[in-house]
Amino acid sequence: MVRPDRRSAEAAAYRRLYRTRRWLQERERQLTEHPLCAMCLPRVTAATVCDHVDPTDKDDPETFFTGAKQSLCKTHHDSTKQREERRGHVIGCDDTGMPLDPNHHWNR
């Protein structure tokens, strides 16, 4: 049984780019050059996902391929990174308890 795709029309527009040869080569290059999850460091966890640092890079086909990327493990990509994108700011705080993201509303 095939489950229906419930993603938005915007997501459908860029989802096809993930199946292109260009993306698969870019993904392979990223994971080869940076094989560890950027969010797990200093712990050593193998990265399996090539993630767009800026989620708006998916809006333009050219920046989809050329925009900044980071290597993440599936756990961080599917949880922490997506939660940050929904909230609009980086999750976490420094030693004093202040948010790490300068765009966080506490830093305004």
Q: What is the CA radius of gyration of the chain?
A: 16
Q: What is the pLDDT of residue 22?
A: 95
pTM of the full predicted structure? 0.72
Q: Where are the domains of the chain?
A: 9-107
Q: State residue 5's pLDDT score.
A: 67
Q: What is d(CA 46, CA 33) in angstroms, rounded to the nearest whole number? A: 12
Strand (E) positions, the chain?
A: 49-52, 69-72
- Of 52, 56, 103, 58, which is closest to residue 81 (Cα–Cα)? 52
26 — phi, psi (to 5°)?
-65, -40
As a whole number, mean pLDDT of residues 60-66 equals 90
Judged against a pLDDT cut of 70, whether residue 19 lies above it is answered with yes
* Residue scoring higher pLDDT (23 or 42): 23
Q: What is the mean pLDDT of the chain?
A: 86
Q: How many CB atoms lie within 10 A of CB 30?
A: 17
The neighbouring-strand residues paired with 36 are 46
